[in-house]
Amino acid sequence: MKKLLKPASLLFNLLSLLVFFIIGMYFAGWMEAGKNQGLAGGAIVFGWGVLFGGIAFVASFFATYRLPHGKIKTGNWVLFVILLLGYGITHYRFMQRDKLQKERNKPYNKETPTKPAPTSEPTAMLFVEEEFKEVLSPTHLKQETQWEGMGYFAPNFNELSVLYFYGNPNLKKPEIDISPYDSLTFKRNTYNQFEIATAPPWLVPDIMKLDYDTLYFKIESVTEEFVEVIVNSQNNRTAYVRKSDGNVVYWPDFLLGVHSVEFLPGSNEKVRARPFQASGSIHTEYQFMKPIKIKGDWAEVWLLDAQFQNIGKGWIPWRRDNKLLVRFNLFS
């Protein structure tokens, strides 16, 4: 009994409790025990730590009773080193998460910004403006390519100054444990409009018109927490972004939000009276079409004249075989 009350034995009991408490919480994280549990997630992870620590604390009394005094001292050093390592790793991860969260939520500076150095200008953005100047003009922002993807992702740069890009994330890990490999940052100019501050050299968005607060990346796939987007519309390079960093707009919702649509050049498609190919065609002369309802691969549209006045209504096929059959005008 006296052996159990020796300082080395008591220290062994305490270290066992602390070390296995930390091991229990890391084990819970590895098992994703608290994932998708909301506020209860933290309590669940803490409970695993208590369970591991409690079992180890009880077992340490049997160990100190049976082990020689010298081995107990050696065990104390081993447990102490493990405790320091566990604390160091936990503290480092906490600091990294805190730094990332502060940077993501950093508010914009409303004051007039100073002119950035020429090296800070994102060359990819300059290339986009030159290469797609017709597509990016306010009245002719149209999608000319065949339909691909599920819709568009619009970064919420009104609230977040940084959009982080991720490689193929390990979906078994908690979202906060996945680190980005690059980022796109925003700033306000002297007219209080958003601009690109820094960007990766490979970045070529599908649609970009920041003076209209418009930036869209085409969506390739979605998960519970991430969206895979095409970050270079020329070579179809993809990256992942956090779903919470913007808005996921699937094709039906996107088309209902545009100013007008047109059939692709050279198309033989017609406006139909009903949403099927064998339906009779409508012969009203029109210039543009405004989607008002999406039903499968068909869209009900208002028929508009050159002054964008409503002169009729009909149905059009907006996609077929995963290919877009219309181009759109985002702005009037």
Residues 6+ apart with CB under 8 A from 115: none
Tell me, yes or no, whether 211 lies in a domain: yes
Confirm if 272 and 314 have CB atoms less than 8 A apart: yes
Best-predicted range by mean pLDDT (38-47, 130-139, 140-149, 184-193): 184-193
Give the C-alpha separation, 116 to 122, whole Å: 11
Give the C-alpha separation, 318 to 70, whole Å: 79
Whether residues 93 and 131 share a domain: the answer is no
Tell me, yes or no, whether 112 lies in a domain: no
Secondary structure letter of residue 212 according to DSSP: G
Q: Over 50: is that where the pLDDT of 281 sits?
A: yes
Whether residues 246 and 294 share a domain: the answer is no
Of 35, 70, 104, the residue that ends a domain is 104
Q: State the pTM of this model.
A: 0.57
Whether residues 91 and 192 share a domain: the answer is no
Total domains in the fold of the chain: 3
Tell me, yes or no, whether 109 lies in a domain: no
Whether residues 241 and 128 share a domain: the answer is yes
pLDDT range class, residue 211, cuts 50, 70, 90: confident
Tell me, yes or no, whether 113 lies in a domain: no
Whether residues 305 and 210 share a domain: the answer is no
Whether residues 127 and 52 share a domain: the answer is no
* Amino acid letter for position 308: F
Whether residues 242 and 285 share a domain: the answer is no
Lowest-pLDDT choice from 70-79, 99-108, 126-135, 237-246:
126-135
Nearest partner of 157 among 113, 97, 197, 100, judged by Cα: 197
| Residue-number span of the structural domain to which 306 is assigned | 258-329
Of 211, 229, 254, the residue that ends a domain is 254
Q: Over 90: is that where the pLDDT of 137 sits?
A: no
pLDDT top residue among 127 and 20: 20
Whether residues 250 and 273 share a domain: the answer is no
Q: What percent of the chain has pLDDT over 90?
A: 37
Of 104, 133, 167, the residue that ends a domain is 104
Tell me, yes or no, whether 110 lies in a domain: no
The residue behind tokens 């933290």 is 42
Give the C-alpha separation, 34 to 232, whole Å: 36
Whether residues 263 and 246 share a domain: the answer is no
Whether residues 185 and 212 share a domain: the answer is yes
Whether residues 159 and 225 share a domain: the answer is yes
Three-state DSSP at 123 gives helix
Lowest-pLDDT choice from 67-76, 120-129, 243-252, 310-319:
120-129
Tell me, yes or no, whether 77 lies in a domain: yes
Checking DSSP bridges between strand 310-317 and strand 319-320, what pairing results, if any? Answer: unpaired
Tell me, yes or no, whether 213 lies in a domain: yes
What does the pLDDT read at residue 292? 96
Tell me, yes or no, whether 273 lies in a domain: yes
Whether residues 66 and 190 share a domain: the answer is no
Lowest-pLDDT choice from 34-43, 191-200, 204-213:
34-43
